[in-house]
């Protein structure tokens, strides 16, 4: 459990190094779950880990449907979800 939270903290540091405007914040829970809130391209995203579902997800917070529980994008492992969030950041950083 502690390893997943450390992975989230490491990703938060990486995102802040790439772009300080991402303003990453990790919230961890006794169950081992975590939420990494991050700003990408003006939108707020949540990168989550839920041990009870043994999975990871990324959702855009500011466009979420009230009362909806679940992920917009689901992943079986940390690295796949990490790659997804880094790709979002890369895409948002490209000039239009």
Predicted confidence pLDDT, tens digits, the chain (96 residues): 688 899 999 999 999 999 999 999 999 999 999 999 999 988 899 999 988 888 898 988 876 555 555 567 889 999 999 999 999 999 887 665
- Rounded-to-integer distance, Cα 43 and Cα 92, Å: 10
- Rounded-to-integer distance, Cα 42 and Cα 80, Å: 23
Tell if the pTM clears 0.75, that is, is over it. yes
- Nearest CA to 79 among 45, 44, 55? 55
* SS3 (DSSP) at 50: strand
What's residue 74's pLDDT?
A: 84
Cβ count within 10 A of residue 38 = 25
Rg (CA), the chain: 13
Q: Domains in the chain, please, with CATH?
A: 2-93 (3.30.920)
């Amino acid at each position: 459990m502690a390893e997943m939270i450390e992975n989230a903290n490491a990703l938060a540091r990486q995102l802040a190094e790439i772009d300080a405007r991402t303003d990453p914040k990790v919230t961890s829970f006794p169950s081992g779950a975590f939420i990494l809130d991050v700003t990408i391209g003006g939108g707020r995203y949540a990168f989550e880990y839920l041990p009870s579902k043994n999975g990871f997800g990324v959702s855009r917070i500011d466009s979420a449907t009230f009362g909806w529980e679940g992920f917009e994008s689901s992943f079986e492992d940390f690295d796949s979800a990490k790659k997804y969030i880094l790709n979002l950041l890369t895409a948002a950083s490209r000039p239009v």
